[in-house]
Structure 1
Amino acid sequence: MQLLVNIDHIATLRNARGEGYPDPVEAAEVCEKAGAAGIVFHLRGDRRHIRDEDVYRLKKSVKGALDFEMAATEEMIEICNEIKPELCTLVPEGREELTTEGGLDMKKVYDDFNNRVFPKFKGTGIKMSLFLDPNPEDIKLAHKLGADAIELHTGVFANAQDEHSRKKELIRLKEGAELIHEFGMTVNAGHGLNLNNLPLLIEEVPHLHDISIGHALVSKAVFWGLDRTVKEYLRIMDQAYNE
């Protein structure tokens, strides 16, 4: 199990004033030096945070895993194939949403992904991941498509308003992770995770490989600094994993 830090909101802060700082590439370097296994970024169509120049600089700078989150548009496919990250995670993208609000609906996208998207990544060496809710039918279609990994959407768990809802979603995530593992795909997870809810996720959900954390980590770093914050997440992950 390893931590990948999403540095999108470092870029959000930079873009708020139109200045050149804080630099998301410098942030990525700090995170890796603190022990993060890699970096996640989402290049959106409207470039609201990460920009094209950031992508190319991150490719040169990041020493560990680089996870390119993107909508399956022709523009993004071309950029992704040019920089060749270790992992490409396909996500749904709504122009008006503040952040990704749920997993892909595989019934809607399967034919397009099978006929147009996945063939364009064949032979590139890029591992393909899909951002999904823990729905068995979506997971089965992802396996049929030939995905290498699935990133489970943990937002419903993270935002649960009561214990019953939280436990119900944890059961779904656990069963989803077991099915993903059974199919031979890598189990990743992300969205809404923080210092408080991460231990419970690790305790209850098996086979976790990459855990992607961005907003909560960057927010805490405003007070603690990136180095300390990354190290605290790593400490919690190690403690929870070994208990």
Structure 2
Amino acid sequence: MNPLVAPEPHRHDGRTALSVNVNKIALLRNTRHLAIPDVVKLSRQALEAGAQGITVHPRPDERHIRAQDVHDLAALMKQWPEAEYNIEGNPFHNLMPFVRELRPHQCTFVPDSSEQFTSDHGWNLLADLERLLPLVAEAQALGVRVSLFMDPLPEAMARASATGAERIELYTEAYASAHGTAQQAEVLARYTAAAQAAIAAGLQINAGHDLNRDNLSDFLRAVPGVLEVSIGHALIADALELGLSETVRDYQRCIQRAFAPQAAAR
């Protein structure tokens, strides 16, 4: 078993943990040949500012995170045993070699295609359950927690549990798009129902995709049991204005507001 896998989720003060997705830092670096910005240096800065984890999603074409980044960040994370390293990707493409060699705290299985611009849907477990079973089992035998990227479909959570995965990551783009519109309450209710179904099926819950400082608190107030949010694009964009350390602290304040006593009493 991986000695860095803690028996309890990586959380602080009972609140949702923040994992910073550093893909967009790598994307900016890859536009030149100067090795700046430095993905490892900025990941360390995010951890020093209070992030509880680092997420990477290496794609086969290495258009942002490269294989060397995944290894360099694994070395960094050994210096931060209280933080979590989450490697995302399609287990039928390039994810599993990283899982086998590096044994991160968590791997998130995402059903994206090689040419896909960004993740835009969860697993169809009616079609994919059987072929996922051996890969989930393999990761767990290595001491790696498995999370499945899922749409907010309550009826799919029993099938997600049947894979043996410990967690699901709710794909939150639909919520982010509806936030601030007349459809917000209706869409958010789907996530609440999906989370409740996941918990009933014995699953733990992560969430991510287009969460930001405007919509994060509302999401966490409404959706029960979210242990971790993985945030990249909006957080890195905010860092251009606020600086990375202050941005991480501000996202932590968003999480804190969601769990404040006055929020819980609403």
- The alignment's TM-score, normalised by the length of structure 2, stands at 0.87
Q: Quote how far apart the aligned CAs of 1:171 are.
A: 0.6
| Map of 2:169 onto structure 1 | 151
Q: 1:28 aligns with which of 43, 47, 54?
A: 43
Change (3 A) 1:92 1:231: same
Indicate yes or no: 2:145 matched with 1:127. yes
| Partner AA of 1:8 in structure 2 | N
Contact 1:7 / 1:214 at 8 angstroms: preserved in 2?
yes
For residues 90-133 of structure 1, the C-alpha deviation after alignment (integer angstroms, 9 at most, x for no partner) is 0011233321112111112111112x422322421100100000
Worse overlay, 90-99 or 29-38: 90-99
Letter in 2 for 1:211: V
1:9 pairs, out of 24, 28, 36, with 24
Aligned counterpart in structure 2 of residue 57 of structure 1, from 72, 89, 104: 72
Shift in Å at residue 152 of structure 1? 0.4
Query: What's the Cα RMSD here?
Result: 1.4
Identity between Structure 1 and Structure 2 (%): 34
Q: Residue 96 of structure 1 aligns to which amino acid in structure 2?
A: E
Alignment partners' CA distance in 1, 2:93 and 2:171: 24
Task: Tell me how far apart the structure 1 counterparts of residues 35 and 162 of structure 2 sit (CA, whole Å).
Answer: 44
Tell me the residue number matched to 2:118. 99
The code of the aligned residue for 1:184 comes to G
Match in the other structure for 2:222: 204
Residue correspondence of structure 1 range 167-182 to structure 2 within 5 A: 167-182=185-200
Q: Which runs of no fewer than 5 residues in structure 2 stay unpaired? A: 1-15
1:137 is displaced (CA, Å) by: 3.0
- Secondary structure class of the residue paired with 1:187: strand
Whose helix proportion is higher, 1 or 2? 1
**C-alpha separation in 2, matches of 1:203 and 1:161:** 14
Contact preservation (8 Å) 2:167, 2:205: yes
Once structures 1 and 2 are overlaid, which stretch shifts more, 144-153 or 132-141? 132-141
Residue type of the alignment partner of 1:37:
Q
Is the 2:18–2:252 contact (alpha carbons within 8 Å) kept by the matching residues of 1? yes
Q: Pick the aligned partner of 2:96 from 77, 93, 112.
A: 77
| Counterpart residue type for residue 40 of structure 1 | T
Q: More deviation in 126-135 or 17-26?
A: 17-26
* Structure 1 counterpart of 2:245, from 227, 235, 238: 227
Code of the residue aligned with 1:83 in structure 2: it is L
Task: Note if contact 1:131-1:150 (Cα within 8 Å) is conserved in structure 2.
Answer: yes
Q: Match of 1:87?
A: 106
Q: TM-score, normalised by structure 1?
A: 0.95
Displacement of 1:183 in angstroms is 2.1
Deviates more, 1:94-103 or 1:139-148: 94-103
Q: Distance in 2 between matches of 1:79 and 1:7?
A: 17
4+ residue runs of structure 1 moved beyond 3 angstroms? Answer: none
Q: How does 1:43-54 map to 2 (within 5 A)?
A: 43-54=58-69
Deviates more, 1:102-111 or 1:146-155: 102-111
Contact 2:140 2:146 in 1 (8 A): no
> Does the aligned pair in 2 maintain the 1:102–1:155 contact within 8 Å?
no
